[in-house]
Amino acid sequence: MSRSIIRVESLHKSYVNGSNSLHVLKGVDMDIREGEMVSIMGSSGSGKSTLLNILGILDNYDEGAYYLDEKHIGKMNETKAARFRNRYIGFIFQSFNLISFKNAMENVALPLYYQGVNRKKRNLIALDYLERLGLREWAHHLPSELSGGQKQRVAIARALISNPKVILADEPTGALDSQTSLEVMEILKEVNESGISIIIVTHENDIAARTQRIIRLRDGLIESNEVNHAFELESVKVN
């Protein structure tokens, strides 16, 4: 059995605003193995983004434990959190989160800028990733000149450039039409086949159907966690 890339045990998280406290995660247990492509489903407000933000070390949890690549992730300062994120994690968001005044190449190169890679080198590497995603000709275009699907491919290239072990995608197809959504899922499948683990938050059944395992969150707990046999059969057919 492959090693665990992301494991949480009895994870709790509340948001506190003054005297109000909202208990969002109420003891979540989850184990994602290296190389898996998993979806997390649940209705709006069920805590999907909260969970993903904790997995991405963008937010702290209150109780329980989180292990990333078997390393315990507790409370840490922003410098250390950023180092873990850089080394392990690529993010993809529903709204792409591209910088509007930077072109596609510069957006893709951004993680390398934070790693101190010089401009010439990081732009060359960014062009290579854009090429792989079929966007070489769009390198010098601003996000506003790209379609939704192209923007998400730029975001995927940016997530890949730091060579992450895990991609965390929060509703990556939520702003795309169904045809473009399937294209993005095809790309993510190829990314996964290159060995990168992927967790996709979605509330769309046909997106979850394209992952190997479907985890359902409800009222702050894992309601179900099932291997997607339809996906396995599909893979067998194709191969």
d(CA 97, CA 87): 20
Rounded to the nearest whole angstrom, what is the least distance from the CB of residue 47 to Mg ion in the complex?
8
107 binds Mg ion (CB under 5 A): no
114 binds ligand ADP (CB under 6 A): no
The site map against ligand ADP for 10-39 (x = CB under 6 A) is -----x-x----x-x---------------
Q: In what order do the strands lie in the sheet with 213-218?
A: 89-93, 166-170, 197-201, 37-41, 213-218, 221-227
Pick one of Mg ion, ligand ADP, none as the site partner of residue 212 (Cβ within 5 to 8 A by kind): none
d(CA 203, CA 50): 15
Contact call for residues 185 and 178 (beta carbons, < 8 A): no
d(CA 233, CA 70): 31
Rounded to the nearest whole angstrom, what is the least distance from the CB of residue 214 to Mg ion in the complex?
17
d(CA 107, CA 123): 10
Total residues interacting with Mg ion, rule: CB under 5 A:
2
Contact call for residues 28 and 220 (beta carbons, < 8 A): yes
Tokens standing for residue 169: 């995608």
Our CB check for ligand ADP shows the closer of 26 and 33 to be: 26
48 binds ligand ADP (CB under 6 A): yes
CA-based nearest residue to 209, from 225, 192, 191, 229: 229
Pick one of ligand ADP, Mg ion, none as the site partner of residue 42 (Cβ within 5 to 8 A by kind): ligand ADP
173 binds ligand ADP (CB under 6 A): no
Q: Regarding beta strands 71-72 and 63-68, do their DSSP bridges make them parallel or antiparallel, or are they unpaired?
A: antiparallel
49 binds ligand ADP (CB under 6 A): yes
Q: Is the CA virtual torsion 54, 214, 43, 93 positive or negative?
A: positive
Encoded amino acid at 71, one letter: K
45 binds ligand ADP (CB under 6 A): yes
Pick one of Mg ion, ligand ADP, none as the site partner of residue 46 (Cβ within 5 to 8 A by kind): ligand ADP
Q: Which stretch binds ligand ADP (CB under 6 A): 41-49, 94-102, 110-118, 172-180?
A: 41-49
39 binds Mg ion (CB under 5 A): no
Of the residues 39, 49, 211, 228, which one makes contact with Mg ion according to CB under 5 A: 49
Q: Which residues of the shown chain bind Mg ion in the complex (CB under 5 A)?
A: 48-49
Q: Which residues of the shown chain bind ligand ADP in the complex (CB under 6 A)?
A: 15, 17, 22, 24, 42, 44-50
